[in-house]
Chain A
Amino acid sequence: MIHAEKASLTYRDGTQALKTFDLHIPKGELVYITGPSGSGKTSLLKLLMGIEFTSSGNLEVLGQPMSPHHESAIRKMRKQVGPVFQDFRLLEGRTVLDNVLLGMRFLDIKPHDRKVRAEESIHRVGLDHKRHHPISNLSWGECQRVSIARAVARNPILIVADEPTGNLDKDNAIHILRLLESFRSPETTVVITTHATHLMTTGQPLLHLIMEAGQMTAERRGADV
């Protein structure tokens, strides 16, 4: 699923964001990446999404080597990923349903199936009653749920959420994290970054990656550990 070997990331301005690390995340895993601001969580997700590329070593995501030379393959790989962003990145001027549909429009899905999937995912995040509302009328918590609905409607095999609770109050944050965790399945890996370690689930097995000043340590948690 995700495999890194002696990878590191140094930005073009010389800032070392991630020191050399190895990483292996198998399919169907729930992964929490935690650490304080500036520890390298977002940099790691940028590598996973192909926004940045390793300065050394190798990284493969969904079997795809992440390198700027594989542009079209990375675009294809992104179609199998459901991204969730801290600032939601919803498309303005459109309804909840439009936003979820737009995330599937360029995938090889028939229009009728797109509609069914969108309705299902909106139902799953509990926004049935607001599916025709413009996103400008929603609260931040609801916006994040739309973002999740857009991600999961694509039937991704990897969900990547970057600080999905960053803009939310505690109750909403817990709700969003539990919702994201619920999409983990034997076929779907869920990777979540957060600085709120206390909000992590305690009820299921997970891989916990702890970041500190660009350095990564890993530990397993949960019922089967």
Chain B
Amino acid sequence: MSKLLSNLGYVFQEVKTILRLNGISSLLSLISLTLIFFVAILAMSSWQISTSLVQALENEAEISVYYDAARVESGDLDLSDLISEIESADGTLTTLPISAEDAYTQMSVILGQDAAVLTQFDENPFEPYLEVGIDLSKLTEVIAEIKSLDGVVYVRDNQTVLEKVASIAGVVSGVGIFVALAVGLATLMVTSHIIREGVHSNREQIMTLKLLGAPNGFIYQPYVMGGVLLTTLAGLLAAGLFLWFVTVVSADLAEVITFLPPVNADRMISVTLWGAVAASFVLGLAASLLGLSMIRNHGMRV
């Protein structure tokens, strides 16, 4: 244990020396890695946000089901039975009855200052209907089933719009996976290249230690540790940069696009920080080992 601790002290001392000796190069590597991680976090977050937005749109997918109000009034059609039948249809998520008065009020809110136009009507021009939330993946089937129910007069489904939302969701998901893979791979390659360059610039020292009989573990520990520290620090800086960016940009965007959901700062901070630190640590380790494996016996067979 004491040997391990004593070696740890040596390794940190060596890391400090190596980073100090390659000061400018280390600083540039840190800046490059920070920016790469920042772009990676940005890409991942954009994917996450767009997926959430599409998810939110999907959850808001609704159709309006108009029923025969006269039959309901006459008692020939039981509205609660109709609601039960709709709710039992596969693909129905929610059902909410909207009265003619509610419909009038909703339209007044939507029209805002132009709501005065509604006063031109002698009577309430709106009919009662059922607002039905549906699962977009079962759009066609659920509409067909509801249309076939007794008492249903007309279904306003905005099918074209809803189908577009569904296809956007598919595209966003596909593109997101592709972008995440591409950015992850690029980050690994660039990181390993930067680390490898760092190790390569110290190859003389590595070869000297080899000639003195030092085992590989002893020689490479400081480089692996240095690579991990550098990338983890870059990950932390990138996370900080991203959080600052999100705070500023989301506040600006919220003023321009009012319907954007507010950013959950606490969750984003913890997810981004831990995610960035964990990912950069793993990437740093992988990249350092990859970098070392490329130069291992440079100029020497043993």
Residues B301 and A68 in contact, CB atoms below 8 Å apart:
yes
Binding stretch for chain A, among B119-127, B207-215, B245-253, B265-273: B207-215
In the bound complex, CA of A80 to CA of B10 (Å): 23
> Are B302 and A75 in contact, CB atoms less than 8 angstroms apart?
yes
Q: Contact at B215–A111, with CB atoms within 8 Å?
A: no
Tally chain B residues at the interface, Cβ within 8 Å.
20
Q: Mark A54-67, 1 if CB is under 8 A from B, else 0.
A: 00000000000000
The answer for the CA separation of A150 and B21 in the assembled complex, in Å, is 21
Q: Does A133 contact B (CB under 8 A)?
A: no
Q: What is the number of residues of chain A that contact chain B, defined by CB distance less than 8 Å?
A: 30
Q: Which of B208, B213, B215 contacts A89 (CB 8 A)?
A: B208
Name A's interface SS.
Answer: loop
Number of A-B contacts (CB under 8 A): 55
Q: How far is the CA of A52 from the CA of B302 in the complex (A)?
A: 8
Minimum CB–CB distance from A75 to chain B (whole Å) comes to 6
Taken together as a complex, chains A and B put the C-alpha atoms of A78 and B216 apart, in Å, by 13
Instruction: Among A85, A93, A103, find the residue whose CB has the most chain B CB atoms closer than 10 A.
Output: A93
Contact A93 B213 (CB under 8 A): no
Bound Cα distance from A41 to B169, whole angstroms: 72
**Distance from A54 Cβ to chain B, minimum over Cβ atoms (Å):** 12
Q: Select which of B207, B214, B301 is within 8 A of A106 by beta carbon.
A: B214
Q: In the complex, how many angstroms separate the beta carbon of A24 from the nearest chain B beta carbon?
A: 24
Identify A49's interface contact among B20, B205, B211, CB under 8 A: B211
State which of A83, A92, A105 has its C-beta within 8 Å of the C-beta of B10: A105
Is the C-beta of B204 less than 8 angstroms from some C-beta in chain A? yes
Q: Which residue of chain A has its CB nearest to the CB of B205?
A: A91
Binding site for A on B (CB under 8 A): 6, 10, 17, 20-21, 204-205, 207-215, 218, 300-302
Q: A68-B302, A74-B302, A81-B213 are in contact. List 10 more A-B contacts (CB 8 A).
A: A51-B302, A75-B302, A78-B211, A79-B212, A79-B213, A89-B207, A92-B205, A103-B212, A106-B212, A106-B218
